Each structure stands twice: as structure tokens, then as C-alpha cells.
Chain A
Amino acid sequence: MTDTQTMQKTRIRMTVNGQERTGEVESRTLLVHFLREQLGLTGTHVGCDTSQCGACTISVNGRSTKSCTMFAVQADGAEVLTIEGLAQDGGYHPVQEGFWEEHGLQCGYCTPGMIMSTVALLKRNPDPTDEEIRHELEGNICRCTGYENIVKSVRYAAERLRESGA
């Protein structure tokens, strides 16, 4: 491996929360670092660095993705949605509202990932059982809540989304 290779940067372009964004990255730059450090979107958190905790979960081309387990160059040309892109017209997304109403967070560190995973879960399964909620959120780890209120938050959001027909 040469120094030039280390320094070599690739220009990438992607749509992030509806906006066209560009940047120059090393091949090894993880998508989460591009989002946080170059685009300033620090709502996506890094919790574990080992692809286990899910705090960095975002949506890439509609797929729920741990942004610490994807290189930024792999997202060149992609549609990306992060926690910052959820609220519409100054109002919380129903999943955000659910976590607020049902106290689905304490320290809040895992919350962006929990919420993004919940959005993906409810898109696929609008009326999940508690067991299904717990299974589908296994990739997101919370150290505070004991998960009980997170499950309640997801149920709340599911109901709201079904009511609104979204």
C-alpha cells in the first residue's frame, strides 16, 4: 500500500434527506463518518464500532442499513434518509411522536437508530405483535430502557400510522 493510495480520494454524490450532497472521501471512509463529519448530520450516532448496536441505522435506497457497515463510496448515487429527514413541516414523524409519548428513551443515544429501524419495520409490517417488534429490533441495542417502553412506542406509532393511512 502506497502513500498515494492512502491519500487518494473519490468524489461521491448522493441524495440525503431529499437534498443533493457531494463530497470527497477515501475508499475506507465509512458512510456514518461521511454523514457526521462531512455533512454535519450528527443525528446518526456511532455506538459500538463493531456493527452490533444499530445506533447508526439509516435508510439507503429504502433499505435499513447500519451506516457503520457500509463505505461511503458504496452509497455513491444512493437515496439516503437519516433521522434529520424524518420530521415533515415542523411536525414529528409518528414514530418520533411515539418515542416521545411513551417515554421510549432515557439517555437518547440509541434513539435515532431505534426510530429509523422502527420506520423500516412498520413499513413492512404495519401491525406487528410485541414478539415481532422485539425480533425486528434485535439489531438495535439500548442500555437504559429495558426495551419495554420502546415496544410501547412502536405500538403507538403503528396505531398512528394505521389511522393516518400512511
Chain B
Amino acid sequence: MFPGSFTYSRPGSVAEAVAALQANPDAKIIAGGHSLIPAMKLRLAMPGELVDLRDIGELRGVEVSDDAVAVRAMTTYNELRDNDEVAGLMPILPEAIQIIGDAQVRERGTLVGSLVHNDPAADLTAVALALGGSVHAVGSDGERDIPLDEFFVDLWTTTLELDEVVTHASLNRHDGAHMAYRKYAHPASGYAIVGVAVVVEKDGDTVSRARVAVTGATNTATRLTSIEEALAGKPLTEDNVQAAVENAAEELEINGDTFASAEYRAHLVRVLARRALLGTQQ
């Protein structure tokens, strides 16, 4: 399969990358390329120019600060998975990464790329929402932090402007919190039919704060605030969890397709939310 023609550039800095996007509205950023290239091969995407971030050294690596973990744009899934400090602080990241796509995808794909692409069935969109944080974007009008809760808009759509480059995603630390990600994967593609990510902070036995996010079910990953509210101040017992997830799907506009009906996905939302919440105690 042959993608449409495009020009290829390798800027040496973020400023040059922004300039390239500004100069050509038909240009697209490429990082790991594992969403973009398959789409280009099918000609679902036909950008006139690819701006490859691989030469920009400042976009590599991870930075841990007192309250957040900053994951830079070119950091691959496996680099993140194999970072022991990150895994200790956010065990949900290696847990979720290890079931993304397949081994080759994990070797080249990036967390930031996944967030920016915002595939409705991506894994890390839900994980990032459950952790909370922001996306740092640089554009022709300067820099800004976009809270993750305001970042995902719709199918493959974010609040990012056309000439903005995301330099890193900053994920909030929840030291000592219990985290889990559970998904029912499409058997062929590995994408989430439904996936649920949870981050639960406790005070003794009771939940002080829970963050729960779902992917695969709706147009874009979203928080399940009814579950979060229902659990606050309660111990994480099976009965409380069951009661909290019971109506969780009702606040959502759930999609159906040939593989899983909307009704079945609603069922999966309840089941996987329960398993993820109870999974935090294992």
C-alpha cells in the first residue's frame, strides 16, 4: 500500500517545528507514527508534509517533580514502561502500556502521540484522565498548559490548535494511591472495546478521592464522575463498588458497532469499572 505523496522535514527545535506547521496548514507532526502511518497507508490521512520530531533532543525522556511526572513527546511506550521511578509512582502506566497493541507498537508508539491523536479506543487517554494533569503546547501564539479534563473534545479531536506542538504531558502524582486499568480488547486489533482506568486515594479504609475514566465506549475518553462521587467517603467494599457502577453507563452516549452493540458496551463499562476498582485492592 502506498501513501499519498508528502514532503518530509526534520526540524531541530520545537520553534522550527511550530514554524513548519505555521508555514503549511497541510503539515502534520509525526512522532512514533503508529496511528498516522497506518492511516496514511489506507489514505484515510493524506498530509502534504510530515514534520518529524525525532531530531529534537529536548522532546525525549521523563522528568519527575514533586507533584507530577512530565512525559516528553518522543518518549515511547516502552521507555515509559521500563522507567522504574515512574512505574513505582504510577504503576497504572506499565500495566496499561503492556497491553497496548503489540510489542512492535509499544516499541515505537508514544504516550503524547496517543493523547494528541485521541483515538476513541486508545488506552492511555483514559489512564491520563484518571491520573489528571495537563498537556503543554507550544504554538505561534506562545505556550500554554491545557488541563487534560479540557483536552479531549470528540472523535480524534482535541483542543489543540493546528500550529501547536505538544512538548510534554504532565501527569499528576498520587503517591500511595491505588491504581488499575482493565480492558476488554478487540481480539484482532488490541484496541479497547471498553477500558476503565481508576486512581483511588484512601484515608484509612475509606475512599478520600477516586478518579475513574473510560475509553472505547464513547466518542472520546471521559471521566465517570457518578462513580467518583458515589465512592467518596465510603470503604471500597464489593457492595459499595457494585452500587457505584450500577448506573455509570447511563450518563454516557455509548457507541455501538458491528463488534459490540451500545448495550453490550454499557454492560462492559459496569463490569470493567467494578473489576478495576476491586483490582486496586489486590
Contacts and interface: CB of A to CB of B under 8 A. Distances in A.
Given A1-B48, A28-B6, A73-B8, A139 B38 contact: no
Interface residues of B, number: 32
Contacts of B54: 74
Given A74-B54, A137-B103, A51 B6 contact: no
Interface extent on A, as a size class? Answer: 20 to 34
Contact of B102 (A6, A71, A139): A139
Nearest to A49: B1
A135 B101 CA distance: 10
A69 B37 contact: yes
A27 B102 CA distance: 26
Nearest to B98: A135
Q: Interface on chain A toward B: helix, strand, loop, or mixed SS?
A: mixed
Given A28-B2, A28-B6, A64 B107 contact: yes
Contact of B101 (A27, A68, A139): A139
B103 A117 contact: yes
Contact of B7 (A27, A50, A66): A27
B4 A28 contact: yes
Contact of A138 (B4, B50, B103): B103
A27 B60 CA distance: 24
Given A1-B6, A69-B104, A121-B103, 9 more contacts: A27-B5, A51-B37, A52-B188, A57-B104, A69-B33, A69-B34, A71-B8, A137-B103, A139-B101
